[in-house]
Amino acid sequence: MNETNIFSKLHKKNTLHKRQNARLLGYLMLASLVIMAIFGPDLIGADPRKQSLLATLESPSLAHPLGTDHLGRDMAARLLSGAQLSLSLAFLSVITACFPGSLIGVIAAWYGGWPDRILGAFSDAILALPGLLLVLMLASIAPGSWWALYVGISLTLWVEYFRYTRQRARIVLAEPAV
């Protein structure tokens, strides 16, 4: 019985240690991705759009750490440029969706009644559409446009902030101190 207790405690401690290591590894990977996305294109110094048909499909070297593609473009520069674009788009979309979603959520909870019902029905209608479908529809209107992706992602994200903020504001407004 005592032996089982010891093994149980060791197992819990070992599991907690593994979780902390996995969390730390995830944070390090995310931090390295962000750092490379921010500073990587400047460190490499290669233009991701520059083509060199004389250097097509080169294997990795000091000049091209990940080699080149079929048009002679540096793959490392393209990878870091893509990471920079993706992270900036994600960050800007979340920030843009947070403000109107939270504001509309507080307004809906504060006034209640028909404004809450109308805004709730509108958010349910947005949620009924698959978010990816809305983003793809806007991207097809303006193909290759960064702004179309930005608007599409922001339009699908604001609903999450709206629903969460409306629910939390309802709880706060129902308290007797308010």
Please write the tens of the pLDDT for every residue from 148-165.
Answer: 889 989 989 999 999 999
How far is residue 53's CA from residue 57's CA, in Å, rounded to a whole number?
9
Arithmetic mean of pLDDT, 106-117: 94
Please write the tens of the pLDDT for every residue from 22-74.
Answer: 899 999 999 999 999 999 888 888 888 999 999 899 999 998 899 999 999 99
Cross-strand bridge partners of residue 68: 74
Contact partners, residue 43, CB within 8 Å, separation at least 6? none
Domain assignment of residue 148, yes or no:
yes
Q: How confident is the model at residue 20 (pLDDT cuts 50, 70, 90)?
A: confident
How far is residue 137's CA from residue 145's CA, in Å, rounded to a whole number?
12
Domain assignment of residue 39, yes or no:
no
Domain assignment of residue 118, yes or no:
yes
pLDDT of residue 170: 94
Domain assignment of residue 24, yes or no:
no
Domains: count for the chain: 1
pLDDT of residue 142: 85
> Which residue segment(s) compose the domain that 104 sits in?
85-174
Q: Looking at the whole model, is its pTM more than 0.85?
A: no
How far is residue 139's CA from residue 152's CA, in Å, rounded to a whole number?
8
Domain assignment of residue 80, yes or no:
no
Domain assignment of residue 58, yes or no:
no
Tell me what the pLDDT averaged over the chain comes to.
88
Contact partners, residue 90, CB within 8 Å, separation at least 6? 153
Look up residue 54 and give its two tokens.
């004389």
Q: What percentage of the chain exceeds 90 in pLDDT?
A: 56
Domain assignment of residue 98, yes or no:
yes
